[in-house]
Amino acid sequence: MRIKDIINRIFVDKTDSTFIQFFRSVFVGGVATVVDMAALALMVEFFEFNKIFSSVAAFIIGLGINFVLSSFWVFKKARVKSKTAEFIIFSVIAVIGLLLNTGIIYLFDSYISEYAIFGSVIPSDKYYLIGKIAATVIVFIWNFFARKYFIYSSNNTDS
């Protein structure tokens, strides 16, 4: 197999390969996460908005980016006929991810920060960012496999 063919298979061609889809999701998730975290930090640090409100708003911005890139690049084809239905299912999965995300950030900001487990390296008022990093990993795994199973799995029936 030529290098061009390998690059096309990994980055260009539509695919049902879970490995390649997961690989692409890392890139899509990375872009969405950078935007999400930048929006969160901007809202909290610059505009001094509430951390939880800002987390929700930033998550929604990341969701929009993630949906567009996932539905057109990561997965071959949704098993539902309508983009609206695809977006609704995608959003329900994301809302569950949002609840996980918010809960983890709240846990770090409200409870773990009290124990100062990172000593003086990270001030306790910045633990929400550590929570965001932990939440990002957990929610990424949830989102990928839930989307793969409920929206893009060949085992699904058309709706």
For residue 97, being part of any structural domain is answered with yes
Task: Judge residue 59's burial from the number of C-beta atoms within 10 Å of its C-beta, 0-12 exposed, 13-18 middle, 19 or more buried.
Answer: buried
Q: Tell me what pLDDT residue 89 has.
A: 93
Please give the Cα distance from 33 to 55 (Å, whole number).
12
pLDDT at residue 158 tops 70: no
Of the given ranges (84-98, 104-118, 133-147), which has the lowest mean pLDDT? 104-118
pLDDT at residue 136 tops 80: yes
For residue 95, being part of any structural domain is answered with yes
Domain of 112, in residue numbers: 3-150
**3-state class of 133 per DSSP?**
helix
pLDDT, average across residues 41-46 = 94
What is the average pLDDT value for the chain, to the nearest integer? Answer: 87
pLDDT, average across residues 106-119 = 84
120 DSSP 8-state letter: T
For residue 156, being part of any structural domain is answered with no
146 or 79, which is more confident: 146
pLDDT at residue 159 tops 50: no
Tell me how many domains the chain contains: 1
| Residue/partner pairs of 52-59 with CB below 8 Å, 24 or more apart | 52/102, 52/105, 52/106, 55/101, 55/102, 55/105, 55/128, 55/132, 56/98, 56/102, 59/94, 59/97, 59/98, 59/101, 59/102
For residue 159, being part of any structural domain is answered with no
Q: What Å distances lie between residue 73 and 69, 94, 134, CA to CA? A: 6, 18, 26
For residue 158, being part of any structural domain is answered with no
Q: What Å distances lie between residue 31 and 24, 59, 62, 77, 139, CA to CA? A: 11, 12, 8, 21, 15
pLDDT at residue 84 tops 70: yes
pLDDT band at 154; cut points 50, 70, 90: low
pLDDT band at 156; cut points 50, 70, 90: very low
pLDDT at residue 155 tops 70: no
- Give the residue from 15, 11, 23, 9 showing the smallest Cα distance to 140: 23
